[in-house]
């Protein structure tokens, strides 16, 4: 299904017939079908809503770079559009950022229940000396490569350098979405975690390198009513890597 929100065509899907709503907020660079197994674990008992954020999957890109607050504002309007007054929330990776932002707000347009954060983003990583040195070198080269003269004289070299910078998510994104990603990864949400009062389940892959287990332990410590389940041997997509265990854990959390 598709709906127009703020002039953007947004793709979404609803499954299940339960009276209670669960909304899935996706990770960066994914599309809604990645979370079909999450929906299958909670339906038909719950009404499960999946959607592609602007610039994700088959939804339109925003007209300009959005930070996490703008995506949170959009999520609130999406909920209003679907006339959802109360929902439990599940967030994977980037989707966790939006949930943290939302739950730290004093006023929300809908009531929130249980929360599940899967390999969630939001904690700024601790950089080693080597990483700090690499960042400094990057900034120096950026000034050179982004100069007009260098771009005119060596356009192929500049383009090749740009494509080799950053993560795979960054390289695969459009110019607008790259800026959205930069705005997200440079924001630390750690100080907002104590504002989350909802019962929160943290599900994490032991070998997650995108959002390491250190982040999970910080969230468990800072969120007042949080519990952590670690999937041994799993990575950033723990729910896909160990689906049987994930199904058992999440169904128990939702009382199924």
Mean pLDDT per 10-residue run, the chain (256 residues)?
93 94 96 97 97 97 96 97 97 98 94 97 73 52 57 61 58 83 92 97 97 96 97 98 98 96
* Dihedral sign, Cα of residue 73, residue 71, residue 185, residue 218: positive
Determine whether domain 2-124+187-253 maps to CATH 3.30.479.30. Answer: no
β-strand partners of 87? 112
* DSSP per-residue string spanning the chain: -EEEETTEEEEEEEE---SSEEEEEPPTT--GGGGHHHHHHHTTTSEEEEEPPTTSTTSPPPSS---HHHHHHHHHHHHHHTT--EEEEEEETHHHHHHHHHHTSS--SSEEEEEEEES---SPPPPPHHHHHHHHHHHHHHHHHTSHHHHHH-HHHHHHHHHTSS-HHHHHS-HHHHHHHHHHHT---GGGGGG--S-EEEEEETT-SSS-HHHHHHHHHHSTTEEEEEETT--TTHHHHSHHHHHHHHHHHTT-
What is the pLDDT, as a whole number, of residue 174? 83
Q: What ranges do the domains of the chain cover?
A: 2-124+187-253, 129-174
β-strand partners of 48? 15, 22
What is the pLDDT, as a whole number, of residue 37? 97
At 50, give phi and psi (nearest 5°): -120, 145
Neighbours of 92 (CB within 10 A): 29
Tokens of 200: 């929160």
What is the pLDDT, as a whole number, of residue 103? 97
What is the pLDDT, as a whole number, of residue 138? 47
């Amino acid at each position: 299904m598709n709906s127009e929100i703020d002039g953007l065509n947004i793709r979404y899907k609803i499954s299940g017939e339960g009276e209670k709503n669960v909304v899935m907020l996706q990770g960066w660079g994914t599309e809604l079908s990645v979370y079909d197994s999450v929906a299958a674990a909670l339906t038909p008992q719950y009404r499960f809503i999946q959607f592609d954020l602007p610039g994700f999957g088959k939804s339109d890109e925003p007209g300009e770079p959005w930070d996490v607050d703008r995506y949170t504002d959009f999520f609130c309007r999406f909920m209003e559009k679907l006339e959802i007054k109360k929902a439990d929330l599940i967030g994977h990776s980037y989707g966790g950022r939006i949930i943290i932002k939302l739950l730290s707000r004093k006023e929300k347009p809908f009531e929130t229940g249980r929360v599940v954060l899967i390999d969630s983003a939001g904690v700024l990583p601790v950089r080693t000396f080597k990483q700090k040195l690499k960042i400094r070198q990057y900034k120096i080269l950026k000034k050179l490569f982004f100069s007009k003269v260098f771009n005119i004289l060596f356009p192929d070299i500049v383009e090749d350098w740009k494509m080799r910078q950053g993560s795979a998510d960054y390289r695969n994104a459009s110019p607008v979405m790259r800026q959205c990603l930069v705005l997200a990864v440079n924001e630390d949400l750690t100080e907002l975690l104590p504002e989350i009062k909802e019962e929160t389940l943290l599900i994490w892959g032991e070998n997650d390198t995108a959002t390491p287990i250190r982040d999970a332990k910080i969230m468990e410590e800072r969120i007042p009513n949080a519990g952590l389940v670690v999937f041994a041997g799993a990575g950033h997509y723990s729910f896909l890597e160990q689906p049987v265990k994930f199904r058992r854990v999440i169904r128990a959390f939702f009382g199924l």
